[in-house]
Amino acid sequence: MRILEVGPRDGLQNEKTTLTLDQREVLIQKLLESGLSDIEIGSFVKAESIPQLAHTYELAKKVVPFKKKKFPQKKLWAFVPNEKGLERALETQIDGVSFFCATSETFTHKNINRTFPELKTLLTNLKKQLPKKFPNRVYLSTLVYCPFEGIIKPIQVFKWIDFLLNLGFDEIALSDTTGHAHPQNLKPIFKKLTRSYKLKNFALHFHDTRGTALLNTYVALEEGFQKFDSSLGGLGGCPYAPGATGNLATEDLLYLLQSQGKSKNISLSNLTDTSFLLEKYLGKTLPCRILQTIRCSTNKTNKD
């Protein structure tokens, strides 16, 4: 079982408050100390594109040596939009990189200003530029719905899955960008994946816009999926998907997994403490249900 924490990247990218470099560094250190094995620390995009993730290069230069010294078996990941971003990411000795893809051409154009043919060329070049056996994954966004094109048919999903696997990418993160996924529209995707593909090549990335992220996760666990993305405190959203809200909360996911005897090496209490610290940084209350439970029992707020 593996949790990839995306809070420092996907979680922060849509926030009105921009954390300082020191605050982001503290956040990542605490996430490592909680027992999480995989953390996406930021994105090598232009500062003007996503100001909240500016200076990821400098951040990586701080946290990568810390991780290598104290937690050498763990992995720090970064999102990379293009060849130049990959070049800079590799300079920091990051452990793994993530790339973008989407089933919707409109969403692709709004996100990275490329057509489908241009995206395929980009992904082909990025894969060639990767060092041999360097850990990599691709987010396949708009899994079941696009805010601009509407419902996505499974055939569109599997065309991209086959393309990405044929290129040789390690992992595809099937991403419910807008939170429209539910067990019924996931059923045909899961059915074909479990029948015709190796599940080890897939992770699931759910947003909780309509309150279905944890339900979808439970169904996926029953189908045999073992890799999930989540965000500390349920932080998240997408600047290119109007109305999309937070990710599946890491604490809520962990509670579910630990109730089944999984992921016992991760400290839920350390994660909730880190989320309360993050609330102070952001000056807001996070939507995670475990945090809400703690607040009800202790009257804890982000002003404490």
Spot the catalytic one: 101, 146, 238, 288: 238
CA dist 165 and 53 (Å) reads 29
238 given a catalytic annotation? yes
Give CA–CA dist 21/291, Å, rounded. Answer: 25
Tokens 């055939």 locate to: 155
Which residues are tagged catalytic?
Answer: 238
